[in-house]
Amino acid sequence: MTQPSRPAATGRTGRQRPPRPRPTSPPACRDLGMSTAEYAVGTVAAVAFAGGLYAVISSSATREMIESVVRQALTLPF
């Protein structure tokens, strides 16, 4: 999108100043990757999720449920 033209600014000497350089991309697009802190937070979250999942799967109630499902699957008539 282009901006409307405006007269060039002049300094105290009366000469025109050169236009200021514009950034090549909008500020929101300059940071496209994750920083080290974000990787650390993501790693901690993944480890916490894995720990919770391990606790659920290794519980006796879950083990019994999986065993009953396998038993039922093996005893179904064909």
pTM over the 0.85 mark: no
Provide the pLDDT for residue 76.
82
- Does residue 64 sit in helix, strand or coil? helix
- Does residue 38 sit in helix, strand or coil? helix
- Does residue 10 sit in helix, strand or coil? strand
**Span 22-75, pLDDT tens digits:** 766 666 556 666 688 888 999 999 999 999 999 998 999 998 999 999 999 999
Q: Return phi, psi of residue 34, to 5°.
A: -95, 145
